[in-house]
Structure formats: C-alpha cells, structure tokens
Structure 1
Amino acid sequence: MAQLPEYVNVLYSGSSEKFDPGIIQSEMEKGLSKMRVGQHRVVVEQAAVLQFKTAEDSLAFEDWYFNTIRRIGFFTIPDARTGLPRSARFKNADIGTLEPQHGGYAVSKRSVTFEYLR
C-alpha cells in the first residue's frame, strides 16, 4: 500500500473529525422513532491541512497523487489522535486548492479531508 510521502507535513491543528453513525431509523406514528444499527463499520471524515516546504514538494505530491495512488487509491497516514498508521483515502478524490503561504509557492498548503473506516 502507498504511504503519504514524508515531505508532506500533515497539520491537524484546528481540524475536525466526524462520522456517520450508520443507523437505520423508522419513524413512528407516536413517540420516538425506532433505531437499529445498519452498519457495523462507519466512515470517518478527518479534516487536515497538507503543507509543502518547497515548490518541488508540491509538484512531487501531484505526481504521487496522479501516478502512485491514481487519485482514488488508499494510502497510509498517521492517525490524528494516536499517531499510529491508518489506511485512508481523499474524500471524493479531492485534494483541495493549492494555496501559497510565503514567497509565491515556495511554501504552500492544501486543505483536504481524509476518509477511512472505523
């Protein structure tokens, strides 16, 4: 399995995490609705920022995205809470907009959302 390249800094500060509870809900004529578990594993969405220290790193990342994971592939990232490796992919294969931070694109970033099964 591919791994997020080492030259990509993953910033989780200010990020968020959410998941779909995976339940099936039936409305009742009176009272509370009935609920049951529909999925045993749920999809978790983790927001993050990918930071690139050089313009070459941002170009190498695009090459990795198109040629290594072919836009839709899974890859290993560090978990935001535990730091342990986790298999994830980009939500909707979207790597966000490349935004310059300093001196043109010498330092840049992309806001992304990882998704994985819990």
Structure 2
Amino acid sequence: MATWPTGMRYDWRDFSETPEPVVERSQMERGVPKQRRIASDARVEVQLTLHFDTAAEIAAFETWFYTTIKAGQDFFDWPHPRTGATVQARVVGGELGALTYLRRPLDKAKRSLKIEYWRSTW
C-alpha cells in the first residue's frame, strides 16, 4: 500500500473534517421524528491545503499523485494529524485542487484537496 509523502506540510487553520451521518431521520406527521441507523462506518472527508517551498516538492507530490496512487484512484496510508492513527485514505473523486503560486519564481505554492477515510462508529 502506498503511503502519504513524508514531510508534506499543511496548515492547521485550513484543516477541517466532516463526517457523514450514519442515521436517517424521518419526520412524522405528529410527534417526535424517528431516527434509525443506516451505516456502521462513517465516511469522513478532510479538507487540506498543502504548502510547497520548492519546485522539486511540487514535482515530487505530483509524481506521487499521478503514478503511485494512480491519479487519486488508489488508497494510501495517511497519518491522521489529530489522532496520530494511520488510516487508509484516498483523494475524493481523484480531484487535485488548483496549484496557486505564492511568489514570482513559481516555486513556492499551495494546493487544496479533499481526502476521505472511513471510521467505525460502533
């Protein structure tokens, strides 16, 4: 299994996690709405903004993305920054966000993307 590139930096201020609900809510004609469990695992979507200091870092990440994980198709081991656990994640829809340059020599840049993983809810 592929692993997340070592030394990849992302800003904690841009880091967000959104879990999908595992219950379905049904409004009743009268009374309290009913809820029932529909899944045993929750898909968690993580928004990241990656930071690159050199053109070599940009090229290395793109090589990892396009060759190692086949343009985002494959899962990879990702060290979760909040829990410290290693989870199996993948890029949502294989969508690699826009590369935004931060200075004129076009070497320092940032890129946003979403990854997803599943966690047990039992």
Instruction: Check the 8 A contact 1:48/1:111 in 2, yes or no.
Output: yes
Q: 1:18 corresponds to which residue?
A: 18
SS at match of 1:81: coil
C-alpha deviation, 1:79, in angstroms: 0.9
Question: CA RMSD of the aligned region, Å?
Answer: 1.6
Cα distance in 2 for residues equivalent to 1:103 and 1:34? 57
Residue correspondences, number: 118
Q: 1:98 corresponds to which residue?
A: 99
Instruction: Check the 8 A contact 1:3/1:77 in 2, yes or no.
Output: yes
| AA in 2 matched with 1:85 | T
C-alpha deviation, 1:9, in angstroms: 1.5
Q: 1:115 corresponds to which residue?
A: 116
| AA in 2 matched with 1:109 | K
Q: TM-score, normalised by structure 1?
A: 0.88
Ranges in structure 1 where 5+ consecutive residues have no aligned partner? none
Q: 1:60 corresponds to which residue?
A: 60
Ranges in structure 2 where 5+ consecutive residues have no aligned partner? none
Cα distance in 1 for residues equivalent to 2:15 and 2:66? 25
C-alpha deviation, 1:19, in angstroms: 0.9
Instruction: Check the 8 A contact 1:101/1:107 in 2, yes or no.
Output: yes
Cα distance in 2 for residues equivalent to 1:7 and 1:81? 16
Following TM superposition, the consecutive aligned residue runs of length 4 or more in structure 1 with deviations greater than 6 angstroms are: none
C-alpha deviation, 1:7, in angstroms: 4.2
C-alpha deviation, 1:61, in angstroms: 1.3
Larger deviation: 39-48 or 24-33? 24-33
Q: Deviations over 1:73-106 (max 9, x none)?
A: 1112221312332221111211210011233321
Instruction: Check the 8 A contact 1:7/1:52 in 2, yes or no.
Output: no
Q: Deviations over 1:49-82 (max 9, x none)?
A: 1112211221121111111101211112221312
Identical aligned pairs, as a percentage? 34
Larger deviation: 54-63 or 9-18? 9-18
SS at match of 1:43: strand
Asked whether 1:77 is paired with 2:81, we answer: no
